[in-house]
Structure 1
Amino acid sequence: MVQHMYDDTVSEIGWSSADLEARRELWSLALDEGERRLLWADARAERWGAAEPVRAKLRAFVHGSTGSVGVTHVGGLVDPTAPEADVTAALSFLLRDFGEIVPQNGRGDLTQVLRDQDGDGNTELGFHCDTCDLLVLLCLQPAYRGGGLTKLASARHVYDLIGRERPDALATLTEDWTFDRTGRAGPQVVVSPILYTQKDGTIACYYQTRTVRSSPDRGGPPLTDRQWEALGVLDEVLYRPEIAFGLPMAAGDLLIIRNSRVLHGRSAYADEPGSNSRRMLRIWMNTGEEL
């Protein structure tokens, strides 16, 4: 695990899958039952009272872990037996400490429950970044027959590794690419490097494997042979076991991903119909800060 310090106290950590597993205390927090009850009593009432110390603890941990590792996991944040509507409302109140909830699609939905659609759970979801500052996932129900791990990869670690092995590919990935997102929430066309250095020296990422490859078909600039090769290098690196960390999430677990630092995906899973089906509550947030 490589740490990079800067004058503004940002501490960026580039990690492998083994690093992330070994240093869980940096990014994974478990609330006890008393803390959870206090937190959710205030959240359901939509005003802070007895849970103020728990709120401060959670706020400090999220700030530290998303600022360094780029990801926060909170085990057992909610009672998984609570009604879905109550969980969504209470979580939306809690998240006010971290930014503004923004629409995820053209319909303006502020929350979405992800579930298997026509068997797409059988297919792995490739690594990508969502078009928001923070991606929030709350597990309502894990896959009944296993699988469905949330896959994570450190942009800093990927950048450093490609820079050592294929500096030519890294140079291409740091150039501007066109991502055509027509019909989706937010900017319809994003022009951005896939890997790049921010003002504070931290490494950032923006990657959507399908929209960058389909952009030429929608009028964007054609991809060169050099660009196709660089995409192949990136994908090969992302799927190395030492890069891709698979996180199993239990019902009630919360995950916050800093999109500019961590790429994410999902392993395939076998689902069950009805109440045992895998369900993940998704929220997009913007913080108004450079992330």
Structure 2
Amino acid sequence: MQPMAVGERVAWDAAGLAADRGWIFTLDDRARRDLISAVRKVADPDRPLFDFGRNEFDLGSALPVLRAAFAEQRNGTGLALVRGLPREGVTEAEFRLMTWAIGLHFGVARPQGKASQYLSAVRNEGTDYRSAGGRGYSSNAKLDFHVDGCDVVGLACYNVAKSGGMSLCTSSIAVHNLLARERPDLLELLYEPFCFSRQNEQAPDEGPYVRCPIYGVAEGVLFGRWNRNRAASAQKLEGVAPWTPRQAEALDLLDALLQRPDLMYSMWLEPGDLQLMNNHTALHSRTQFEDWEEPERRRVLYRLWLAPPDSRRLPPGWEDPFKTVEPGAVRGGIRGFRWDDTCRAFEARQAATLGMTVPG
């Protein structure tokens, strides 16, 4: 199999990303004031997130910086870091609403779990990451490299841990190209469908797992998608074929390359940082962390999954996890147990605001 022709910046390695600072953006004092002012003008603890509309938040001079960051995750390295979100003197509730307000400007938020939550607090709640229903965002465990179930994921950092919790990321495109050069026989297997567990979070009309290739091509664009924990969990489910020895070899090599020091980039997220990740071109992970004793100091980030209006067509075979491969559609997410008419109404309103389509 020949390597795909991809842009140089999306197929980065650790040294290249460290040298290429075009993916890092900084909000100045005026932009920070504009952001927090927009939030405080409409903040109301009695209003649910769904009740807020995009037009209520004038992000002012912060908007061009955020727009450039979202463009970078789509068209550049697949990764963007925005530094300087207002944090000093900002309550956790204000920071949460600020994250939501940014999302309203750049896509339709997607549900993220069995509670059908559209904005998740990433904090240690003592869950077992390796259990059948385990989720990494509510544990303090070291995570496998993975993508989230959406086009774009945003992580806004409010508090950091006492120690650990380093953010790790690797270009799935760089790994693909390395496999194409060194092990094309194994790469070929990664274009075939694999099963991924829904971790007991499926909606009533969904099965316990989805099927999707790890790599695929649509309209000449290469896409990658992998989650070892969910793939391994699916191996325990009825009806899922066990990996062949060659499949297991391919997956083990994939995981090894994702963690190879020359390919993996490490960074510390600080309070006020917003990390944006294109789930189709980059995978991410996190080291284990130890938290503070004081509740007000404990590590917390706010995670937002987005379907953006400028999304690309997805490869054939990706319909199962995304519901549709159509570009510019409201797609992806984990509908969970509480996805109802209120959720559907929010998605329809937000889609109309951004000129997006909602699958039937």
Common fold, TM-score beyond 0.5? yes
Deviation at 1:65, TM superposition (A): 3.6
Asked if structure 2 preserves the Cα contact closer than 8 Å seen for 1:149 and 1:267, the reply is: yes
Aligned 1:209-228 pairs, distance under 5 A: 209-219=228-238, 220-228=240-248
Within the candidate set 211, 226, 243, 1:207 is matched to: 226
Contact 1:3-1:13 at 8 Å conserved across structures = no
Counterpart selection for 1:128 from 146, 155, 160: 146
Which of 22, 29, 34 is 2:30 aligned to?
Answer: 34
In structure 2, distance between residues paired with 1:112 and 1:130 = 13
Following superposition of structure 1 onto structure 2, how do residues 35-74 of structure 1 map, counting pairs within 5 Å?
35-45=31-41, 47-49=56-58, 51-74=59-82
Following superposition, the deviation at residue 80 of structure 1 comes to: 4.5
Q: CA offset at residue 182 of structure 1?
A: 4.4
* Corresponding residue number in structure 1 for 2:100: 92
1:279 aligns with 2:287: no
1:193 is matched with 213
Asked which structure has the greater RCO (Cα within 8 Å, sep 6+), the reply is 1
Residue number in structure 1 paired with 2:264: 244
CA contact (8 A) 1:3 1:12 kept: no
Partner of 2:254: 234
The alignment status of 1:168 with 2:185, answered yes or no, reads yes
Q: Is 1:18 paired with 2:15?
A: yes
The C-alpha deviation readout for 1:173-204, integer Å capped at 9, x for no partner, is 111111121422676532111122232x2321
Give the secondary-structure state (helix, strand or coil) at the position aligned to 2:276: strand
Q: Post-superposition shift, 1:59? A: 1.1
- Provide the C-alpha distance between the structure 2 equivalents of 1:194 and 1:262, rounded to a whole number of angstroms: 12
Deviation at 1:134, TM superposition (A): 1.1
Residues 155, 203 of structure 1: 8 Å contact kept: no
Answer yes or no: is the 8 Å Cα contact 1:152–1:246 preserved in 2.
yes
Could you tell me which residue of structure 1 aligns to residue 334 of structure 2?
A: none
CA contact (8 A) 1:43 1:94 kept: no
CA contact (8 A) 1:111 1:283 kept: yes
Of 162, 181, 184, 2:201 maps to 184
The residue aligned with 2:276 is: 256
The count of aligned residue pairs is 281
- Indicate conservation of the 8 Å contact 2:167/2:287, yes or no: yes
Q: Distance in 1 between matches of 2:299 and 2:67?
A: 28
1:265 aligns with 2:261: no
Identity over aligned pairs, percent: 29
3-state SS of 2:144 partner: strand
Within the candidate set 161, 183, 196, 1:143 is matched to 161
Unpaired runs of 5+ in structure 2? 43-55, 129-138, 315-360
Unpaired runs of at least 5, structure 1: 6-10
AA paired with 1:225?
Answer: P
Aligned-partner SS, 2:145: strand
Task: Please give the secondary structure, in 1, of the residue aligned with 2:33.
Answer: helix
Give the Cα separation in 1 of the matches to 2:289 and 2:115.
28
Residue deviations 1:10-33, cap 9 Å, x none?
x86210011111112x21101111
Structure 2 partner of 1:8: none
Change (3 A) 1:65 1:110: closer
Change (3 A) 1:115 1:164: same
The two structures, once aligned, show a CA RMSD in angstroms of: 2.3
Amino acid at match of 1:240: R
- Distance verdict in 2 for CA 1:205–1:117, change over 3 Å: same
Deviation at 1:117, TM superposition (A): 3.6
- Aligned equivalents of 1:250, 1:57: Cα separation in 2: 18
Deviation (angstroms), 1:64: 3.0
Greater strand proportion: 1
Distance 2:97 2:125 in 1: 24
Q: Tell me, yes or no, if the aligned pair for 1:142 and 1:250 is still in contact at 8 Å.
A: yes
